[in-house]
């Protein structure tokens, strides 16, 4: 059997502080994240696609937007209140530092839950309707923190 894969990438500006880190990463700092979403399917739809890129983008758009220009923090960070005072774009991770691994898992879980509603219309653009076809699965989410460092969350075999 053949498997088809398609990917969509996004880039966002993002900040975080790793409260548990022993060195420089314990200070607030930022990254230009590159996020790659890979889905797979064993057959092509009526348009000869695994799924339309626009449908995939629509499924993940608000998750990516929550990251864009946000400050991600551990909910137990001792500096939480001071950092929250800077603005309202704070994204909290419950008792976990927002490492690249944690971020990849957060995205994976959010996207996988949304792909569970296959067949539902996800967008209508200029009269065209987009949906995620049945059988499409999330394979992995890869997050680059820098041009040479990434982490990913992958579907279990």
pLDDT value at 140 more than 80: yes
Structural domains in the chain plus CATH codes: 4-154 (3.30.479.10)
Please say whether the beta carbons of 101 and 94 come within 8 A: no
Query: What is the Cα 136 distance to its own chain's centre?
Result: 17
Q: Is 109 helix (H, G, I), strand (E, B) or coil?
A: helix
Q: Is 55 helix (H, G, I), strand (E, B) or coil?
A: helix
What pLDDT was estimated at residue 132?
A: 86
What pLDDT was estimated at residue 86?
A: 80
Q: Identify the CA nearest to 74 among candidates 65, 64, 84.
A: 84
The 3 state secondary structure assigned to 62-108 is HHHHHHCCEEEEECCCCCHHHHHCCCCCEEEECCCCCCHHHHHHHHH
Tell me the whole-structure pTM to 2 decimals. 0.92
What pLDDT was estimated at residue 84?
A: 87
Per-residue pLDDT reduced to its tens digit, 71-129: 999 999 999 999 888 888 999 999 999 999 999 999 999 999 888 665 555 656 566 77
Query: What is the Cα 118 distance to its own chain's centre?
Result: 18
């Amino acid at each position: 059997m053949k498997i088809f894969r398609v990917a969509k990438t996004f880039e966002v500006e993002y900040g975080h502080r790793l409260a548990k880190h022993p060195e420089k990463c314990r200070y607030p700092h930022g990254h230009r994240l590159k996020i790659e979403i890979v889905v797979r399917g064993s057959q092509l739809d009526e348009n000869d696609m695994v799924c339309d890129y626009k449908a995939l983008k629509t499924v993940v758009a608000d998750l990516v937007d929550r990251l864009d220009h946000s400050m991600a923090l551990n909910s137990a960070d001792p500096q939480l209140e001071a950092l929250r005072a800077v603005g309202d774009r704070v994204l909290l991770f419950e008792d976990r530092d927002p490492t690249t691994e944690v971020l990849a898992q957060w995205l994976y879980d959010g996207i996988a839950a949304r792909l569970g509603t296959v067949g539902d219309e996800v967008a209508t653009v200029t009269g065209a309707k987009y949906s995620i076809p049945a059988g499409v699965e999330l394979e992995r989410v890869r997050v680059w923190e820098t041009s040479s460092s990434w982490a990913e969350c992958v579907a279990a075999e």
